[in-house]
Amino acid sequence: MNHGLLARLSLTLLCCCVASCSHSSNNRTTPATRPTMIGGYAPVNGLRMYYEVHGEPHPRRAPLVLIHGGGSTIESNWGRILPLLARARQVIAIEEQGHGHTAAIDRPFTFENSADDVAALLDHLKVERADVMGFSNGGNIALRVGLRHPNKVNKLVAISAMYRRDGMIPGFWDGFVNPDISMMPEPLKAADRKINPDPRHLQQLFEQDVKRMATFTDWPDTDLSGIAAPTLVVVGDHDIVLPEHAMKMARLLPRGRLMIVPGDHGDFLGDVLSQRPDSLAPAAVVGLIEAFLDE
The model's pLDDT over 232-273, given as tens digits with 9 standing for 90+, comes to: 999 999 999 999 999 999 999 999 999 999 999 999 999 999
Show the domain range for 261.
3-26+35-294
Total tally of structural domains belonging to the chain? 1
The torsion angle over the Cα atoms of residues 54, 45, 157 and 280, rounded to 10 degrees, is: 40
The structure's pTM equals: 0.88
Of residues 30 and 95, which shows the higher confidence score?
Answer: 95
The CATH code of the domain that includes 194 is 3.40.50.1820
What pLDDT sits at residue 277?
A: 82
With a cut of 50, say whether residue 155 has pLDDT above it.
yes
Residue predicted with more confidence, 9 or 127:
127
Q: What is the pLDDT of residue 247?
A: 98
**Going by C-beta distance under 8 Å and a sequence separation of 6 or more, which residues neighbour residue 169?**
239, 240, 241, 242
- 29 pLDDT tier (thresholds 50, 70, 90): very low
Flag whether pLDDT at 175 surpasses 50: yes
User: What pLDDT, on the 0 to 100 scale, is given for residue 15?
Assistant: 34
Q: Mention every residue, 6+ apart, whose C-beta is less than 8 A from residue 207.
A: none
Helices H / strands E in the chain, number of each: 10, 8
How far apart CA 168 and CA 171 sit, in angstroms, is: 8
Whether 125 has a pLDDT exceeding 50, the answer reads yes
End-to-end distance of the chain based on CA atoms, in angstroms? 6
